[in-house]
Chain A
Amino acid sequence: MTAMQKLLQLPVNAVNMVKTVQSQVQGQEEDKSPVLTPDSGQQAWYSALQPDELRHLRSGGTGGGGGGGGGGGDQEERAPLEEGGGSGGGSSFQTQPLRHDDLKEMLDSNKDSLKLEAMKRIVAMIARGKNASDLFPAVVKNVACKNIEVKKLVYVYLVRYAEEQQDLALLSISTFQRGLKDPNQLIRASALRVLSSIRVTIIVPIMMLAIKEAASDMSPYVRKTAAHAIPKLYSLDPEQKDQLIEVIEKLLADKTTLVAGSVVMAFEEVCPERIDLIHKNYRKLCNLLIDVEEWGQVVIINMLTRYARTQFLNPNINESLLEEGGSGDKTFYGSDEDEDEDEEEKEKKAEVAAMAKRKPYVMDPDHRLLLRNTKPLLQSRNAAVVMAVAQLYFHLAPKAEVGVIAKALVRLLRSHSEVQYVVLQNVATMSIKRRGMFEPYLKSFYIRSTDPTQIKVLKLEVLTNLANETNISTILREFQTYIKSMDKDFVAATIQAIGRCATNISEVRDTCLNGLVQLLSNRDELVVAESVVVIKKLLQMQPEKHSDIIKHMAKLTDNIQVPMARASILWLIGEYCEHVPKIAPDVLRKMAKSFTNEEDIVKLQIINLAAKLYLTNSKQTKLLTQYVLNLAKYDQNYDIRDRARFIRQLIVPTEKSGALSKYAKKLFLALKPAPVLESPFKDRDHFQLGSLSHLLNAKAGGYQELPDWPEAAPDPSVRNVEVPEWTKCSSREKRKEKKVEKPFYTDSEGESGPTESADSESDSATGSESSSGSEESGSGSESEESKEASESEEEEEEEEEEEKKKKKKDLKKPVQESESEQSSEEEERKHQRKSKPRKSESESESDEDEESESESSQSESEDSESEAEVKKKKKPAESKPPPKPVKKESKKEKKEMSLLDLDDFEPAPSPQVTPVNTFLSNSLVTDLEGLSLSDSVLSPATIAPSSTLKSYELLHRITGEGLSVEYCFSRQPFSPDANMVAVQMQFTNNASSDTKNLHIEDVKLQSGMRVKEFPEIELLPAGETATAVMGIDFCDSTQAANFQLCTHTRKFFVSIQPPVGELMRPVFLTENEFKKEQGQLMGMNEITEKLTLDVKCRNEHTIVQRVTTAANLSRVPCGSDKECSPPLPPPDHPVHRFAGRTVTSGSLVLVTVATKEEGAAQLTVNCEKMVIGTMLVKDILQALTQ
C-alpha cells in the first residue's frame, strides 16, 4: 500500500481521460483529478509506463516511489480515501489495483485463466465501490465466454454498469437471447436474470417477450426467475403493467412451491390491489405454504393476511354474544341446525354473513384453512416467518386462538438482539390489545443488566403493558431492582414505567407514589428529576391527599439542579398553593433570589408561580411578585419578557387593565385535567404488525393498508377451482388435483389439497373439514362403526392410525349422552340424514358446517393435516355407504349401556398401534380442551355421562321460597377462563309467580379465589327451569365460595363447596410419562392406602367408573407405550392409572389403583399438593369400597 500504490492508482484517471467513448460518464465515487487534463504532460508519462515496468515496480515495493512524485499533490490525499475500505492486507491481490490497460489486455487474451483473473479484479473493484466503468467495452466482449465463472463475473459487471452505458450494453443482448434458448436450465435462468437486471429501457420489449416465454418454461427454476423478472421490468417501465399482470396471473396458477413465493412477491410489487387474482389460487397457496421456501412464506402470509381481511368476516364480531353464552354453547350449536342442511343453505351464506350481528358468527372454512395451515409455521427457525404467522393470527384469528403465538414470539426473544428489538416492538403493540396472551410469559420479559438499552426499554414497555392488579406487586419489585441500574437512561424509563403503572392501577397508586418520593432522596440527579416529573403527573390526579409530598418536594428545590425537575416542582407548588399556603411564598422568595441564574423553563415557572400566588395570597406575595416580574422584564429571553408583560397586565389591576383581569384567577387556577400516561404503542396496530411501517409508526413507501373487515362477506364461491377433466371421478374426495410436485412434508403420496377438492358443485363445502369428515367415514368402514363426524372432526384429523380413530369413535358415543340436551336434537338430525339419499355433497357440507361452528367457538387444536387427506385418498369413497347401518347399531349399543366397557376401547395390542398414545401431547390436550364438545371424548376416563354427574343442592325450594337451585360440576372446561371450574346451575321456579333478575351478588371468597358470574337470568317463569354456568377458581382448595343469589325480591346466602375431585381436569399421559412423573412425585407427595374393593367393584370397568366419578381424571392407557418396552400381555392383576392436573396451579395428580388377589388393592395418589392428595385418597377410597 502507500506510496507505490498511490502511484499505481494514477493510471485509473489517466486512462479515463484518454477514453473518448465515455470520458464524461464517471461514477459518483470517482474523483476526478483536477491536475490531470487530457493534454497534460503527465498523461504521456503514464501511458508510457509499460505493463512490464509496472510489474517490476510492484514487486520492487517502494523502489519506484520517486517516480510517483509526479502524481503529487492531490493524489496523495485521494489515494487513502480510495483504499479506505481495503483490508490493509497488501498480500491479497485485490488490494493491488492493476492498471486498467493491463486488465484490458488480460481480458483480450484468449486464455480463460487470464480473463478470469482480470474479471476477479474488476469485480473486487466493484465490490469496493471503485469505478470500473471504463472497462465496459473490454468486459462486454467476454459475455459469450465459454468459461462459466468468467461469464458469471461478466454478468455481475454488466448488471452493475449497463445502466450507465446503455448503448454498449446492447452488444450483449444477443448473447442473452441465445442463452434463453440454452438446454441448460441454469443458463436459461441466469440469462433471463441478467437480461432483466440490466435496466436498459430500449430492451423492454425483448424483456417482455423473454419473461412471457420463461413463464411457461418447463423448468420451475426458470419460471421462478421469470417471476423475479416481473418487478424488475415493472420498475423499468410501469406501462407494461397490464401485460405483466397477465404473466403474474399465469404464474400464480403455477403449482410448484418454488414459484409460489416469487410470484406473490411480484404480485405485491406490481399489482397488490388486484386481490381478485388471488381468489382462484387462495386455497392452493394455503396448502402449498408449508412447503414454500421460508422467504416466500413470509411474503405469502403477509399477502394472505390482507386478502383475508377483505374476504372474511371479523371472527371477533360476536365476542359479546359468545361470552354471554356461558350456557351459550348450546344455543350456539342449536342455532346452526337449520344451517347444515343443504345446498340452498350455502347460498344463504352471504345472507348469514349479513345477519352476522344477529346470527352467530360462522367462520368461513377458507378462513379456517388459512389459520390452520399457517399455524405449524410458528415452529419455523426463521424469525420472519414466525412473525408473519404471529401477525396473521393477531389480525385474523378469533380472540380465543390468538394465544398460540405468544409462546413462539417469546422464543424469538432469545435470538439476535436485532430480532429481539423488532419482536419486542410488536409484542408491545400486541400486549396492549391482548394482555392475557403474554401474561404467562411475564418473566421472560425481565431485564438483564447485559441487555442493550433499547431492548431494556422495550421490555419495560411490555412489562408495563402487562401489569395488572394481580401481578403488579411482582412487577414493582422487579422495577425496584431496575432503578438501581447503572444505565441511567434505563432508570429514567423505569421511573416513567412506574408512573404509568400507578395511573393505570389505582390500587398501587399510593405505593408507587411513596416509592417515587423515596427516590427523591436518590443521589443521582437524573433519577430525582425523572421522579419529580412523574410525581407531578401523579399528584395531578389527586392533589388534595398529598400536601406533604408537595411540601417534601418544595424542600428539594434547594438541591435539585435539573431544570425540568425544578420547573415541575414550581409548577406543582403554584398549582396547589392552597394546599401549602405557608411554604409557597417562601419558595417564591428563594426563587426570586436565584431567578437570574435559572434556566429558561424554570424562569417561566417562577413567573407562573408568582402569578398564582399573587392571585391567591396577594398580601404576602405582592412585592415578591412585582420583583420577579421586574427581573423578568429585563431578561435576555424574549419569551420570558413577553410572559412577564402579559402576566403583569392580567393580574395587576390598573385603570387601563381590560376586562380580562377579572377572570385572571379563573385563567390561572383553572382545573387542569390530569395527564393520561399512555403507551407509545397504543393503537399502533392499525398498521399491519411486523411491517416496517408499524416499527416506524409511520407509513412507509409501498405499504399496503390493512383493510377493515367487510360488513358482509363477499361471495366465497370465487375461490372455488375448476376441476380438471382427468381428475373427475365418482367421489369428491378423489377429485383432487395432483400437484406437479410432491410436497416434502406430506410424507406419503397424498397432498394437502383439501381445497382442490372443493369444487364448483359443492360451493363452499370445502377445506379439510369436509374431507376429514369423509376420511373418517372411510376409515370407519373398516372398523365396525362410523359416524359422519357430527363432532370432533378436529381430533380426527390429527390421527394417523386407524386404531386411534376406532377408539375415539367408541368414545364418542358416551359423549352424545353426556350432552343431554343436544343429543336429542342431534339424533333427530341424524335420522333426517339417514332418511335422506346420501348425497355426498350435502353430507359433507353439513359436517363442515358444524365443524366450523365448533371451531369458531373455541380454540382449535390442529392445523391442516394432510395426512388425513392422504388417508382419505387411499381409501376410495366407496367406503362411504356402509356407515349407515352401522350407526344404527352403535346407537342401540349406546342405549343398552350407559358407559361403554373400557376394554373395548383398548386397541388390539399390536406394535403399530401403540405409539398412538404419544400422539396426544399435553399441549395438544390442553389445546383441545377448548372444544367443549369434543374434548371429553379425548381420553377414556373423561367420560362422564350426565347421569353420573352428581348434583348438589344449592338452595332448597322451601328456603328459596319456591326457587330451588341445584348445581353440578359439569367437567366441561370453562371457556372464559381455563383456570376456573365450571359449575352448572339449574334453577327451577316452583313458585306460582315469575322470578326475575336472577343474579349473583356480594361474592365472599378466600384470597386468590375468583368467580365468573353467570349472566343474569332476566326472567324465570313459574314452573320453568333454567340453567346457567358459572366459573369458580377455587385456587386448588376446597374452601367454599360464598355468595348471594339474588332475585328481584330476595337474596339468599349460598355457598358452593367443591369435592376435591372436581378441582382437577384430566390430562392425557402415556404410561411411560406417567411413571416418569410419578417418579418425581415420591416421598411426601405420595400417599398410599391399602383397601379391599367392594364386591361389586372388582372388574376393571367399575373401578374406572368409580374413580372417574369421584375425580375428574383421565385414564392412562396401560401397557401400550412402546417407546421403550414392547407391550406386555395384560397382567392378571391390572393396574389402573389416572392422571389429571389441578385446575388452578396445574399440578399433576396421579392416581394408581393396583388390584391384587381377592379384591385387595392398593391406592396410590401422587400429588404435589399434599392436601389435595390426602383428600383425594379419602374420596377415592370411599368410592371404591362403598
Chain B
Amino acid sequence: MIHSLFLINHLGDIFLEKHWKSVISRSVCDYFFEAREKAVDPENVPPVLQTPHHYLISIYRGKLFFLSVIQTEVPPLFVIEFLHRVADTFQDYFGECSESVISDNLVIVYELLEEMLDNGFPLATESNVLKEMIRPPNILRSVVNTLTGGSNVGETLPQGQLSNIPWRRAGVKYANNEAYFDVTEEIDAIVDKSGTTVSAEIQGVIEACVKLSGMPDLTMSFMNPRLLDDVSFHPCVRFRRWESERVLSFIPPDGNFTLMTYHISSQNLVAIPVYVKQSINFFEAGSCGRLDITIGPKQTMGKTVEDLKVTIHMPKAVLNANLTATQGNYTYDCTTKMLVWDIGKLNPQKLPNLRGSLSMQTGVPNPEENPSLNIDLKIQQLAISGLKVSRLDMYGEKYKPFKGVKYVTKAGKFQVRT
C-alpha cells in the first residue's frame, strides 16, 4: 500500500522521508515538483499523479505537502484519509503541524510513523493508542528522562489496541470529572446579487472534551434529532442506538475528539443570519470604481452577530481602495488584492456601511465580473438549525460529572455574489 512518505515544505525541500518497504529514491518527487510548478496555487496540485513506476498521492496541509508513494492499486481516498490522519496526529502531539515543529521532534515523528503503518498498511491510528506507545513531548518528562534514563516509549501493548474500544485509554483518572460539548454549526451559503439564497447548507459538528475517570458510558439525546439529515460519527458512537432511538450512546475517548458531524442539506430551509446590500461598479471613464456595502441582520433568532468580517478578492485591475467604514476598519492589500473589512459586532440599530471609491489601473479594460463577498460571522449560544441537546446521561461510573454544552454558529463558505 503506502510505500514511502515525503514531507515537503512550501519551498520544495524534502525535510523528512520515511520508507515502509524498500527505499525509494527521493528523485521520484521530481514529478511532483513538476506538477507543483504547473499549478499556480499549491491547492491546485492534483492529489494523484502518475509517474512511470509509481503513483504519487499528496495532500496539502499547513503549508506542507505530505507526499506518499504508491506502487500498486489502492483506493486513493484510503491514502488521502491516512495522510490527513498523520497530520492530525502531529497536530495532536505537538500542537501544530508545521515544518519547524516536525523538525524539532524528528525522532518522535519517526517513531509515530513507524507505529502508524506496517508494511504500508495502517496499524495504529487512534491517538489514544499512540499516546500510550509513544508519549507526547513535554518539558518535564524530557528532563526526567535525561536524568533517569527513562524513555518516551511504552513497554507494553496499549490495552486499547486489543480491546473493542481502541480509542480509550485504560485507567483514566481525573480529580474533576467534566464533559464539555461544543455544537458548532457552519452555514455554507451562496446568495446571489438580488439577495435570494441560491444554496444553503448547514454543516454541524459536535466537538467534545471529555475528562472523565474510568469507563463512563454516555448517552446524549437531542430535543429534535430529526433535524439531523445526514450524520457521521466517531467510531465510539453506537450506530444502532442512533438508528433506533436517535440518541448518541458512546464510551468516549479521553480528551478532545469529534463526536459527530452532521449535514443539513440544501433541501431544508436554512436561516441566513445577515443580509448584504452591495453595489460595486467599475467605470470605464476615469478608471475608478465605486463600492458601497451595507450589512444588516436577517434571521438571527434574537442573538447578536459577532466577529463580522467581509473579505473581497478584488480584480487585478484595482490598485487601491479609498473607503470609509461607519464601523470597524478595512484593509486593502495591493499585492494579494484582498479587501478585508473587519466589522465586529453587528448593531441592528446602526447598520455598518462601507463605501468609497476604488482606484483602477488605467488603460486596462474594466473587469466584467464583480468580485464576490465572503462573509465571516459568529453567533454565540445559537445553533442556527435549532438543534438542541436535551440531556446527557452517564452510566457505568458512580461520580457526578460536570456537563456543559455550548452552541456556536459560524459562517462557513458564505458567499454573496455581486
For residues 781 through 830 of chain A, which have their beta carbon under 8 Å from a beta carbon of chain B? 798-800
- Interface contact A87-B164, CB-CB below 8 Å: no
- Interface contact A257-B16, CB-CB below 8 Å: no
Q: Hey, which chain B residues are within 8 Å of A293, CB to CB?
A: 122, 125, 166
Select one of B55, B75, B100, B415 contacting A449, CB under 8 A.
B415
Q: Hey, which chain B residues are within 8 Å of A484, CB to CB?
A: 368-370
- Interface contact A123-B107, CB-CB below 8 Å: yes
- Interface contact B119-A423, CB-CB below 8 Å: no
- Interface contact B265-A410, CB-CB below 8 Å: yes
Q: Hey, which chain B residues are within 8 Å of A265, CB to CB?
A: 1, 121
Q: Hey, which chain B residues are within 8 Å of A85, CB to CB?
A: 13-16
For residues 242 through 257 of chain B, which have their beta carbon under 8 Å from a beta carbon of chain A? 242-247, 249
- Interface contact B238-A87, CB-CB below 8 Å: no
Judge if B110 is at the interface, Cβ distance under 8 Å.
yes
- Interface contact A450-B151, CB-CB below 8 Å: no
Given A87-B99, A485-B369, decide whether A416 and B84 contact each other with a Cβ distance below 8 A.
yes
- Interface contact B81-A414, CB-CB below 8 Å: no
Q: Hey, which chain B residues are within 8 Å of A386, CB to CB?
A: 232
- Interface contact A1076-B224, CB-CB below 8 Å: yes
- Interface contact B73-A421, CB-CB below 8 Å: no
Q: Hey, which chain B residues are within 8 Å of A155, CB to CB?
A: 114
For residues 475 through 493 of chain A, which have their beta carbon under 8 Å from a beta carbon of chain B? 478, 481, 484-486
Give the distance in Å from the alpha carbon of A452 to the alpha carbon of B161 in the complex.
Answer: 39
B178-198 Cβ-contact flags toward A at 8 Å (1 or 0): 000000000010101000001
Q: Hey, which chain B residues are within 8 Å of A446, CB to CB?
A: 190, 198-199
Q: Hey, which chain B residues are within 8 Å of A95, CB to CB?
A: 103
Select one of B23, B46, B265 contacting A454, CB under 8 A.
B46
Surface stretch bound by A, among B152-160, B298-306, B347-355: B152-160
Given A228-B123, A742-B164, decide whether A422 and B110 contact each other with a Cβ distance below 8 A.
no
Given A444-B199, A446-B190, A484-B369, decide whether A298 and B75 contact each other with a Cβ distance below 8 A.
yes
Judge if A184 is at the interface, Cβ distance under 8 Å.
yes
Could you list 18 examples of A-B contacts with CB < 8 Å?
A28-B23, A89-B104, A148-B151, A149-B153, A228-B123, A291-B164, A386-B232, A408-B230, A417-B43, A443-B199, A448-B415, A523-B365, A691-B73, A693-B73, A696-B50, A701-B72, A866-B240, A919-B245
Q: Hey, which chain A residues are within 8 Å of B18, CB to CB?
A: 127
Q: A160-B23, A419-B77, A702-B71 are in contact. List 15 more A-B contacts (CB 8 A).
A: A95-B103, A147-B151, A193-B118, A220-B162, A295-B82, A295-B121, A381-B258, A407-B229, A422-B48, A484-B368, A692-B48, A692-B76, A743-B164, A744-B238, A922-B226
Nearest chain B CB to A965 CB, angstrom units = 37
Q: Hey, which chain A residues are within 8 Å of B243, CB to CB?
A: 376, 798, 862-863, 924
User: Which residues of B are in contact with A by a Cβ distance under 8 Å?
Assistant: 1, 13-19, 21-23, 25-26, 41, 43-44, 46-48, 50, 55, 58-61, 70-78, 80-82, 84, 99-100, 103-104, 106-107, 109-111, 114, 118-119, 121-123, 125, 146, 149, 151-157, 161-162, 164-166, 188, 190, 192, 198-199, 201, 203, 221, 223-226, 229-235, 238-247, 249, 258, 261, 263, 265-267, 313, 315-316, 365, 367-372, 374, 390, 413, 415, 417
- Interface contact B22-A199, CB-CB below 8 Å: yes
- Interface contact B152-A149, CB-CB below 8 Å: yes
Q: Hey, which chain A residues are within 8 Å of B238, CB to CB?
A: 744-745, 747
Select one of A228, A381, A422, A448 contacting B190, CB under 8 A.
A448
Closest residue of A by beta carbon distance from B12: A84
Give the distance in Å from the alpha carbon of A524 to the alpha carbon of B368 in the complex.
Answer: 9
Nearest chain B CB to A463 CB, angstrom units = 12
- Interface contact A449-B372, CB-CB below 8 Å: yes
- Interface contact A747-B241, CB-CB below 8 Å: yes
Q: Hey, which chain A residues are within 8 Å of B114, CB to CB?
A: 152, 155-156
Q: Hey, which chain B residues are within 8 Å of A924, CB to CB?
A: 243
Judge if A1038 is at the interface, Cβ distance under 8 Å.
no
- Interface contact A799-B151, CB-CB below 8 Å: no
Judge if A231 is at the interface, Cβ distance under 8 Å.
yes
Give the distance in Å from the alpha carbon of A197 to the alpha carbon of B120 in the complex.
Answer: 11
Give the distance in Å from the alpha carbon of A477 to the alpha carbon of B39 in the complex.
Answer: 29
Give the distance in Å from the alpha carbon of A92 to the alpha carbon of B21 in the complex.
Answer: 29
Nearest chain A CB to B230 CB, angstrom units = 5
A255-299 Cβ-contact flags toward B at 8 Å (1 or 0): 001100010010000000000000000000000001101110010
- Interface contact B245-A419, CB-CB below 8 Å: no
Nearest chain A CB to B327 CB, angstrom units = 25
Surface stretch bound by B, among A13-21, A108-116, A713-721, A956-964: A108-116
Give the distance in Å from the alpha carbon of A186 to the alpha carbon of B258 in the complex.
Answer: 29
- Interface contact B111-A156, CB-CB below 8 Å: yes
A395-425 Cβ-contact flags toward B at 8 Å (1 or 0): 0000000000001101100101111011100
Q: Hey, which chain A residues are within 8 Å of B61, CB to CB?
A: 416
Select one of B23, B60, B84, B413 contacting A450, CB under 8 A.
B413
Nearest chain B CB to A10 CB, angstrom units = 22
Give the distance in Å from the alpha carbon of A156 to the alpha carbon of B315 in the complex.
Answer: 52
Closest residue of B by beta carbon distance from A441: B265
Closest residue of A by beta carbon distance from B8: A85
Would you call the interface of chain A mostly helix, strand, loop, or mixed? helix
Nearest chain A CB to B9 CB, angstrom units = 8
The 5 closest A-B pairs by CB, nearest first: A702-B72, A87-B103, A149-B151, A443-B199, A744-B164
- Interface contact B80-A383, CB-CB below 8 Å: yes
Given A443-B199, A692-B76, A695-B48, decide whether A127 and B110 contact each other with a Cβ distance below 8 A.
yes
Given A123-B107, A184-B156, decide whether A1073 and B162 contact each other with a Cβ distance below 8 A.
no
Nearest chain A CB to B18 CB, angstrom units = 7
Given A152-B153, A376-B239, A422-B47, decide whether A123 and B106 contact each other with a Cβ distance below 8 A.
yes
Nearest chain A CB to B194 CB, angstrom units = 12
Given A295-B122, A484-B368, decide whether A692 and B70 contact each other with a Cβ distance below 8 A.
yes
Select one of A129, A302, A382, A440 contacting B267, CB under 8 A.
A440
Closest residue of B by beta carbon distance from A419: B80
Judge if A1086 is at the interface, Cβ distance under 8 Å.
no
- Interface contact A129-B14, CB-CB below 8 Å: yes
- Interface contact A89-B100, CB-CB below 8 Å: yes
Closest residue of A by beta carbon distance from B84: A416
- Interface contact A478-B103, CB-CB below 8 Å: no
Select one of A163, A522, A692, A746 contacting B75, CB under 8 A.
A692
Select one of B72, B121, B156, B370 contacting A262, CB under 8 A.
B121
- Interface contact B17-A127, CB-CB below 8 Å: yes
Select one of B55, B125, B244 contacting A692, CB under 8 A.
B55
Judge if A1006 is at the interface, Cβ distance under 8 Å.
no
Judge if A225 is at the interface, Cβ distance under 8 Å.
yes
Q: Hey, which chain A residues are within 8 Å of B239, CB to CB?
A: 290, 376, 379, 745
- Interface contact B265-A407, CB-CB below 8 Å: yes
Closest residue of B by beta carbon distance from A387: B77
- Interface contact B55-A700, CB-CB below 8 Å: yes
Judge if A120 is at the interface, Cβ distance under 8 Å.
yes
Give the distance in Å from the alpha carbon of A411 to the alpha carbon of B265 in the complex.
Answer: 9
Closest residue of A by beta carbon distance from B233: A379
- Interface contact A87-B100, CB-CB below 8 Å: yes
Q: Hey, which chain B residues are within 8 Å of A692, CB to CB?
A: 48, 55, 70, 73-76
Nearest chain A CB to B266 CB, angstrom units = 4
A1112-1155 Cβ-contact flags toward B at 8 Å (1 or 0): 00000000000110000000000000000000000000000000
Judge if A221 is at the interface, Cβ distance under 8 Å.
yes
- Interface contact A421-B46, CB-CB below 8 Å: yes
Give the distance in Å from the alpha carbon of A799 to the alpha carbon of B243 in the complex.
Answer: 10
- Interface contact A383-B111, CB-CB below 8 Å: no
Closest residue of B by beta carbon distance from A453: B44
Give the distance in Å from the alpha carbon of A395 to the alpha carbon of B154 in the complex.
Answer: 44
Give the distance in Å from the alpha carbon of A743 to the alpha carbon of B157 in the complex.
Answer: 20
Judge if A776 is at the interface, Cβ distance under 8 Å.
no
Closest residue of B by beta carbon distance from A222: B157
Nearest chain B CB to A166 CB, angstrom units = 13
Q: Hey, which chain A residues are within 8 Å of B370, CB to CB?
A: 484
- Interface contact A418-B47, CB-CB below 8 Å: yes
Give the distance in Å from the alpha carbon of A915 to the alpha carbon of B80 in the complex.
Answer: 40
Q: Hey, which chain B residues are within 8 Å of A156, CB to CB?
A: 110-111, 114
